[in-house]
Amino acid sequence: MMNPLMRMLFVDDNPGDRDLAREALEQSGGVQFYTACDGEEAMAFLRRCGAFENAPSPHVIMLDLNMPRKGGLDVLREIKADDVLRIIPVIIFSSSTAAGDLHQAYHASANAYVVKPSTLDGFMSAMQQIEHFWQKVATVIQ
Amino acid sequence: MHTPYQHPQPIEILLVEDNAGDIELTQEAFHDAKIVNRTHVARNGDEALDFLYRRAGFRDVVRPDVILLDLNIPRKSGQEVLAVIKQDAALQDIPVVILTSSAAERDIVVSYKLHANAYIVKPVDLAQFLKVVETVENFWLSVVKLPPNPPRGE
Amino acid sequence: MKAKLPAHPSLDFRVLFESVPGLYLVLDSAFIIVAASNEYLRATMTRREDVIGRDVFDIFPDNPDDAVTKGEHNVRASFNRVLKDRLTDVLPLQKYDIKGPDGHYVERYWSPTNSPVLDEKGDVAYIIHRVEDVTEFVKLKHQSGDKPSGQEYEIYSQSQKVAATNEKLYRELGERELLTESHRKREILFQTHLRAVVDHALDGLISIDARGNVESFNPACECIFGYEAGEVIGKNIKMLMPEPYHTEHDGYLAHYHGTGEARIIGTAGREVRGRRKDGSIFPIDLSVSAFELEDGKHFSGTLRDITVRKKAENEMEMLVQKLTESNTELERFAYICSHDLQEPLRMISNFSQRLESHLAGALDDKARHYMKYVTDGAAHARQLIGDILNYARLDNDAELLADVDGQRVLDDVLQDLSVRIQETGAHISQDLLPVVHIQPTHLRQLLQNLIANALKFCAEKPRIHIGVTRESDCWRFCVRDNGIGIAPEHQGKLFAIFQRLHNRDQYPGTGIGLAVCKKVTQKYSGKIWVESVPGEGSTFFFTLPCRKIADMEVAA
């Protein structure tokens, strides 16, 4: 079932990656792209605190792991512990291929773990595939 | 297209589905997949759990890398099976993709609350169905990095 | 002390002696006659000048016609007894015939007594041989018609028997004494030997009684503790111990006596602490044993001052710890470095590409050329970082060891390399690979790197063989190719990290493949080496340990 306009929250401390991700998804036109630059900002967005009072509720979250202040794993755990937030699919998007990180992410109920490709093409392609699946194929809570 | 990972061993897929037609279509679609995989079928909730716990005739089966789960199955319901899987520390990290005909919000909410990894509404149209399976394959078997398996005894 | 008697000038002791009423001979220790009384000469029908200075048995030999006589034998034996024991020896009735002036032997019976004369040293200087001539008495009995009365004959023969028995006993006693003497000497030698062993032992030997009082304390102990034996023997062994042993030792002894439970007794080498005379405390390697004598239980300890050894051990431990820390830190450093470098490199790589496409029209040839250097540089750096990360991760990854089917891994690797295999038209042959107990990734990397190299460094259609042989305690794998080969002078640094023998435009790669292989084999205490002839090909060998699964050997 197609989601008319999918809202994605992209959490990453790397501005370059945020830009690239936005570019990758701009083409399809089916995604409304929101960003947070670290874990604290992400939680503020999700809980609509302070500056994010009017933030919308995202349909899907992409989450980097290595971030200052609050890391991705902590954010993941907080989201999955929250009765309301836990229904939002969280996709870990990290350059780490370490088995430990994988294990911890899935153990904390991450919906999927995607390794950030190191090439530009790979990065763009992965973003598009993610969008394709979650926006066009999967059904998420509106 | 650049596929980042070549898995050293075939991806083991457990399909929990009671509709014979759907089983055939899904298996065929996966058979043609680029990624080496093997599909196993459980036709009801009990069978699914027997498979996962390697009991009652399923003693030598492998641990699946991903589970496609229909909600509408006899014996134990899909949601019961989902709950059991996601509450068992040994099984909870296996990705479970709900592939079911229900589009009811209640079903979707409950499934995500039970930590279903994704929820897909089965298209009625055949061509669409095949496309969906192909996308599932592309995403879950290729883009996604599946959780590290505990070492398999040979 | 003898009183000094006034000398009487007119007293001639020689004359006095010669005149004494009695049959006396004086012999020296060689049985030479030095003096004789007149009555003796008379009774034996000899003249003084004939006997003085002569051997008594030359002058008085046994009667040759008397076959059974033991005269000389018995008298000689008696003289020897006197010499040995320095005591008077009385002989029973002895038949000793005397040669008459006409050369015929006449029957004579005597009752001899032999006494020693001792010199200042206490040795026998002379023997006084005193006899009583009892011939008349015996003859009288014979002549009175009857044979010597049964009783008298009995007495005579009994006395001969007694003499014989006495002599036998004497001899036996002598032998036994000799034996005892010999035993005693041997025992003394043995004791001396043991004593010397204890005294010269380099280890401390100490013994205590049941209450802990020191009974022996060898010279090595004296060196070790700084006490003289005299200062320790008789005192309680506690004095050699620092706290807490000092207080607890009585308890240990009591416990042992009470329960018979040995904590330290009978077990070799335990480390305890001792206290020297100067109060310093030092480590001791101590073994204790127990033994029982008539007077009760005793304990014996062997001890060694291990101060030096412990110091060396500690230093070694510290060194090992330092090295391990240093090693771990280096590995972590390498990991973190390469991990953190990945991201900025990605940025360079990604955005220089973006820049390139974004500015596509605006770039002239030179600018495009420069951009290529930027993107190529970034790509190369990315590859290097990826390789370093992989190399460093060989230790970090918490993958478990498993029984890995080598055949399956090889199949996967060949599948991975299938494109390249097809492109080069390579022909691959293989032995059936065994199951190996290893981290799956490691075996994969080994095979992948070696086979990828074989495919890469080829001049013509590659022919590659992957083989395995079973050695006594390991599997020896080989990857053989018909490629360009490696010159002997290069083979040394082949496995060093980032070592390359070619330019990147000749053959791509960062030069880490073989370094990874080496690190992996080292992890399993295996070896890796190459045999190669330039222009003909190379064979890379590596070994991995065999593992017994349950009690069965794993066979290919």
- The domain that holds C523 is classified in CATH as 3.30.565.10
Q: Which residues of B touch A6 (CB under 8 A)?
A: none
* Paired tokens of A31: 């995604």
Same domain, C275 and C409: no
Residue C1 lies in a domain: no
Nearest to C402 among B6, B9, B151 (CB): B151
For residue C400, give the chain A residue with the closest CA.
Answer: A99
Range of the domain at B115: 11-143
CATH of the domain at B72: 3.40.50.2300
CB distance A36 to A47 below 8 Å: no
Q: Which of C178, C142, C162 is nearest to C74 (CA)?
A: C162
Q: What is the pLDDT along chain C (556 residues), one digit of tens a residue?
A: 455 666 666 778 888 888 888 899 999 999 999 999 999 999 898 999 999 999 999 999 998 888 888 889 999 999 999 999 999 998 888 889 998 888 889 889 888 999 999 998 889 999 999 998 888 878 777 676 555 555 666 676 677 777 778 888 888 887 887 788 888 888 889 999 999 999 999 999 999 998 889 999 999 999 999 999 999 999 999 999 888 877 777 777 777 777 776 666 776 778 888 999 999 999 999 988 888 889 888 999 999 999 999 999 999 999 999 988 887 787 777 777 777 787 888 888 888 888 888 888 888 888 888 888 888 888 888 888 878 877 877 776 666 788 888 998 999 899 888 888 888 899 999 999 998 888 888 999 999 999 999 998 887 889 999 999 998 888 999 999 999 888 888 888 888 877 777 766 677 777 788 999 998 998 888 999 999 998 889 999 999 988 654 334 444 3
Q: How many CB atoms lie within 10 A of CB B124?
A: 8
Candidates A14, A119, A123; nearest CB to C343 = A14
Which residues in chain B have Cβ-Cβ distances shorter than 8 Å to C410?
A: none
| A95 in contact with C, Cβ within 8 Å | yes
C184 part of a folded domain? no
Query: In chain C, what residues touch A119 (CB-CB under 8 Å)?
Result: 349-350
Q: Does A120 lie at the interface with C, CB-CB under 8 angstroms?
A: yes
Domain contains B3: no
DSSP strand pairing (A60-63 vs A90-94) = parallel
Distance, in Å, from the CA atom of B75 to the CA atom of C36, rounded to the nearest integer, reads: 142
* CB nearest to C350's CB, from A20, A96, A99: A20
> Which chain A residues have a beta carbon less than 8 Å from that of B147?
102-103, 106, 113
CB nearest C409 (choices: B8, B148, B153): B8
CATH of A6-119, one of 3.30.2040.10, 3.40.50.2300, 3.90.1580.10, 2.40.50.140: 3.40.50.2300
User: Could you tell me if C37 and C112 lie in one domain?
Assistant: yes
Best to test chain A binding among C331, C340, C343, C348 (most A CBs inside 10 Å): C343
d(CA A132, CA B1): 15
Q: Which residue in the block uniquely carries the two structure tokens 């003249």?
A: C47
Domain containing C230: what range? 201-305
Task: Report how many domains make up chain B.
Answer: 1
| Residues C547 and C418: beta-carbon distance below 8 Å | no
| Residue B100 included in any domain | yes
C241 in Cβ contact with C279 (< 8 Å): no
Distance CA C393, CA C387 (A): 10
Domain limit, last residue, from C363, C394, C425: C394
- Cα separation of C483 and B4, whole Å? 29
Predicted TM-score of the model (pTM): 0.55
Return d(Cα C412, Cα C406) in angstroms, integer.
10
Please give the backbone phi and psi of residue C544, each rounded to the nearest 5 degrees, phi first. Answer: -135, 145
* Phi, psi for A91 (deg, rounded to 5): -110, 115
- For chain B, the residue count is 154
Q: Domain for residue B102, yes or no?
A: yes
- Contact across the interface for A89 and B115, Cβ inside 8 Å: no
Q: Give the residue from C403, C414, C443 with the most B CB atoms within 10 Å of its CB, the best one to mutate.
A: C403
Query: Looking at the domain assignment, is residue B148 inside a domain?
Result: no
DSSP letter string, B112-136 = HHTT-SEEEEPPSSHHHHHHHHHHH
Overall domain count for chain C: 4
Cα angle C311, C315, C317; round to 5: 115
Contacts of C397 in chain A (CB under 8 A): 98-99
